């Protein structure tokens, strides 16, 4: 397993994004219409990661981008999680948790105070992942804030001094 920083427009990122968009279309009837720009994920205002297997096949992705207070419901210091995705053949191996932990660490190091995300009711496995990682429901934000199927979650990025928490956080060298 190798997790690498990449740009959102890297060919492997584009391929995984096409796959996640197809899955959104299967579940919701259309892809995610949120405006995304490659520059949103460029450090220090964001980060995009891809997990590769030992053969160099891209298996999972995820990124965060900075957000500030806006009419769409974001708060100052938010890091918005986007495009978390694991290919079907690699699900259940903990890849999403590894990427999520690395993204949280990166956003924290960049001075972001809260990680936020929007998902939908037709993605129960995503909701399960996020709630098991300490994310809690919050007021809706973003372009889907008025949609019944939308669910928004957040987690403080403040460091915890709980040894059990630290022990259970997977490390990823980037």
User: What values do phi and psi take at 37, rounded to 5?
Assistant: -130, 140
Of 113 and 160, the structure prediction assigns the larger pLDDT to 113
Give the residue ranges of DSSP H helices in the chain: 11-28, 95-109, 124-132, 163-167
Rounded to an integer, what distance in angstroms lies between the CA atom of residue 116 and that of residue 70?
14
Write the Ramachandran bin of 22: left for phi over 0, alpha for psi from -120 to 50, otherwise beta: alpha
pLDDT of res. 36: 93
Q: Is 162 exposed, middle or buried (0-12, 13-18, 19+ CB in 10 A)?
A: exposed
Question: What is the average pLDDT across 137-160?
Answer: 94
Question: What is the average pLDDT across 88-108?
Answer: 97
pLDDT of res. 168: 41
In the chain, the domains with their CATH numbers are: 2-167 (3.40.630.30)
Residue 160 pLDDT level (bands cut at 50, 70, 90): low
Mean pLDDT of the chain: 92
Which strands make up the sheet holding 150-156, listed edge to edge? Answer: 2-5, 46-52, 58-67, 78-86, 114-120, 150-156, 136-137
Helix (H, G, I), strand (E, B) or coil at 164: helix
Residue 172 pLDDT level (bands cut at 50, 70, 90): very low
Q: Is the pLDDT of residue 161 over 60?
A: no
């Amino acid at each position: 397993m190798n997790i690498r920083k990449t740009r959102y427009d890297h060919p492997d990122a584009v391929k995984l994004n096409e796959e996640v968009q197809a899955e959104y279309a299967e579940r919701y009837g259309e892809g995610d219409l949120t405006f995304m720009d490659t520059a949103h994920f460029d450090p220090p205002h964001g980060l995009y990661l891809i997990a590769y297997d030992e053969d160099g096949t891209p298996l999972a992705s995820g990124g965060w981008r900075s957000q500030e207070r806006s009419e769409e419901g974001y708060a100052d210091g938010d890091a918005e999680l986007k495009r978390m995705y694991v290919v079907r053949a690699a699900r259940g191996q903990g890849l999403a948790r590894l990427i999520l932990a690395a993204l949280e660490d990166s956003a924290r190091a960049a001075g972001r105070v809260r990680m936020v995300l929007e998902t939908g009711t037709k993605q129960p496995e995503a909701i399960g992942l996020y709630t098991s990682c300490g994310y809690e429901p919050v007021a809706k934000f973003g372009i889907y804030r008025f949609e019944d199927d939308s669910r928004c979650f957040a987690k403080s990025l403040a460091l915890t001094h709980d040894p059990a928490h630290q022990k259970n956080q997977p490390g990823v060298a980037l």
